[in-house]
A and B are shown apart, each in its own frame.
Chain A
Amino acid sequence: MNVLDFARAFFGDGAHWHGYDGIPTRFAEHIGYCLEALAIAAAIGLPVGLLTGHTGRGGNALAFLATAGRALPSFGLLVLMFIWIGLGLLPVMIPLVVLAVPPILVTTYEAVRSVDPSPVDAARGMGMPETRVLFQVEVPVALPLILSGLRTAAVQIVSTATIAAYVSLGGLGRYIIDGLYQKDYEKVVGGATLVAGLALVTLAVFWAVSRLAVSPGVRRGGRG
């Protein structure tokens, strides 16, 4: 049997389409974890990235934190958090957020910092308050790059959220981990296919968002 046969057998089995271990339930759980982790990571990464990018200060500290964050293995962190905190969503969220903050933070910082200084100077010289300079000039111009940071983070979260299954939670990781344990390779392949599919959907969603949110005047600028 090859991988395609495994996948066909998995998705062809009606039992996989309903119930607490059905594809819709696991899919919803997975998306739930991802959205929560992305929201927390964005709530940390965006404000800090915008502020440091706007003021141009703290770049070195950011680069250090980002490298440290990227160097931490998500799985190791999960086990550590599990031992420390015990069961629950928190030990899963921590490694996902740690994984997602660096790309958001660093890209946002770089995006805002690399905005052409002359429109910013013009905005200030016309009497725009600093918050408006940030949100009405710097952010719209930096948006394609900021979105690309969020996109990288989201895709990494989608694939890494499978580790939730290690600590008895749900999500698409269930299929992979249970399948490996039960030597049920249909399940492993099915789960992996679903994760890959969700990653592609994530890319598509970000593409659509950037079409809608990014001004045509900036999109053409060669950054999106």
Chain B
Amino acid sequence: MIRIDAVTKRYPDGTVAVDRLSLEIPDRAITVLVGPSGCGKTTTLRMINRMVEPTEGSILLDGQDIRQQPVNTLRRSMGYVIQNAGLFPHRTILDNIATVPRLLGRSRRQARDRAAELMERVGLDTALAKRYPYQLSGGQQQRVGVARALAADPPVLLMDEPFSAVDPVVRKQLQDELLRIQEELGKTIVFVTHDIDEAIKLGTRVAVLRTGGRLAQYAPPAELLSAPADAFVEDFLGADRGIRRLSFFPSADLELQTAPLVRADADAGTLAARATAVPYLLVTDPDGRPLGWSEPGRLTAGAVDREQLLDYGRPFVPGTDSLRAALDGAVLSPTGWAVAVDGEGRAVGVVSQQVIGEAIRAAHGRVAERAGEAAGR
């Protein structure tokens, strides 16, 4: 555990970057520091590997003051990823990744073997090993940056706005990749960003800092969304926090209806039987993949006109996707019903906005109950 204890950073000109900040950063989780520019989040991160020395207060790593070991020993035990990756332009990708193992005295061969292993882990084609950084895209460079930070298998990973310089599509890929790697490796990650959505997506816990380097709130992301500590945090979270909070509620418990599912090649009898039960039917192909909605009366057995079907919006995968995806699907669908599919894209049922709304209320109720229990203890 990293314990930041009443740390202040004051510069000679009197500016206070971090003001009596205390934070407990749990092991094997992603802790995100987020806030507007000038809130001291990067300074805080850089104090953990002593790139910046605090003016007051102390930082403990597993109970020991970080100043007790030589600064370079400390830094080699912490992976460090920065914005724009900061790769060494004169070294190949492989040698970039091998840097810290080499610093720790591994042989060139061992270090390169390890580097090749890391390339695969972060999703880089090993054919890129002999290339130089300028030959890689921004997203690839950032993956190299992550691989380089992981090369010596440090328990701690410090990431300073690592994904903010890449385009939104690549950023999402890198975020998903980081979550996957974290699932496998379980590092203690401290992640700095100014993007609250990134913080909510990646963080196990999120520390919101305000200008002047003071802590505004430190909580798991769902709690941040449901109970912002003050107007500043609420404002920083931005619009739609109610909707965004739905990301933390699972869709697995939604009661699906299978009655409205009908295959395009269904016979007249089946069509007639289904027609009485529901206002709309979801027509699927012979494999069960959704094609579109139709009013029962408009369907003729054996002659389904695909052009006549209504768009079915965006389907969600129960269990994998959240209530937010389910609600989004229902809102997008002209019929007001969301389509649930399995991993292969085959329709497994449909669910109405009303049912989703009830599920949301139930989920809120459960959260309130847990909060009440926690308060009662």
Known contacts A217-B133, A220-B134, A221-B134, A127 near B89 by CB under 8 Å? no
A119 at interface (Cβ–Cβ under 8 A)?
A: yes
Partner of A137, one of B72, B88, B100, B145: B88
A81 at interface (Cβ–Cβ under 8 A)?
A: no
B26-61, CB < 8 A from A: 46, 49, 51
Q: Which A residues lie within 8 Å of B8 (CB)?
A: none
Question: Please, which residue of chain B has its CB at the minimum distance from the CB of A139?
Answer: B90
> Quick one: which of A116, A143, A217, A218 has the most chain B CB within 10 A?
A217
A211 at interface (Cβ–Cβ under 8 A)?
A: no
Question: Please, which residue of chain A has its CB at the minimum distance from the CB of B79?
Answer: A126
Secondary structure class of chain A's binding surface, majority of residues: helix
* Bitwise interface map of A from 93 to 134 toward B, beta carbon under 8 Å scored 1, else 0: 000000000000000000000001011011111111100100
A140 at interface (Cβ–Cβ under 8 A)?
A: yes
A19 at interface (Cβ–Cβ under 8 A)?
A: no
Known contacts A125-B51, A125-B82, A127-B74, A218 near B89 by CB under 8 Å? yes
Task: State whether A217 touches B82 (Cβ < 8 A).
Answer: no
Task: State whether B99 touches A119 (Cβ < 8 A).
Answer: no
A116 to B51, CA, bound (A): 17
Known contacts A126-B76, A129-B72, A215 near B91 by CB under 8 Å? yes
B355 at interface (Cβ–Cβ under 8 A)?
A: no
Partner of A126, one of B80, B85, B90, B132: B80
Interface size, B (range): 20 to 34
A88 to B6, CA, bound (A): 69
A59 to B184, CA, bound (A): 49
Task: State whether A217 touches B72 (Cβ < 8 A).
Answer: no
B84 at interface (Cβ–Cβ under 8 A)?
A: yes
Question: Please, which residue of chain A has its CB at the minimum distance from the CB of B71?
Answer: A127
A216 at interface (Cβ–Cβ under 8 A)?
A: yes
Known contacts A126-B99, A127-B74, A217 near B132 by CB under 8 Å? yes
Task: State whether B90 touches A121 (Cβ < 8 A).
Answer: no
Task: State whether A216 touches B132 (Cβ < 8 A).
Answer: yes
A122 to B88, CA, bound (A): 9
Q: Which B residues lie within 8 Å of A129 (CB)?
A: 72
User: Given A126-B100, A217-B132, A217-B133, list of 7 further CB < 8 A pairs?
Assistant: A116-B89, A119-B86, A129-B72, A141-B89, A220-B132, A221-B89, A221-B134
6 closest cross-chain pairs (CB), A and B: A217-B132, A122-B86, A127-B75, A215-B90, A125-B80, A118-B86
Interface residues, chain B, with chain A CB atoms under 8 Å away: 46, 49, 51, 71-76, 80, 82-92, 99-100, 103, 132-134, 145, 148-149, 158
Can you list 21 A-B pairs with a CB-CB distance of less than 8 A? A119-B86, A119-B87, A119-B88, A122-B88, A125-B158, A126-B75, A126-B100, A126-B103, A127-B75, A127-B76, A128-B99, A140-B90, A141-B90, A215-B89, A215-B90, A215-B91, A217-B92, A217-B133, A218-B90, A220-B132, A220-B134
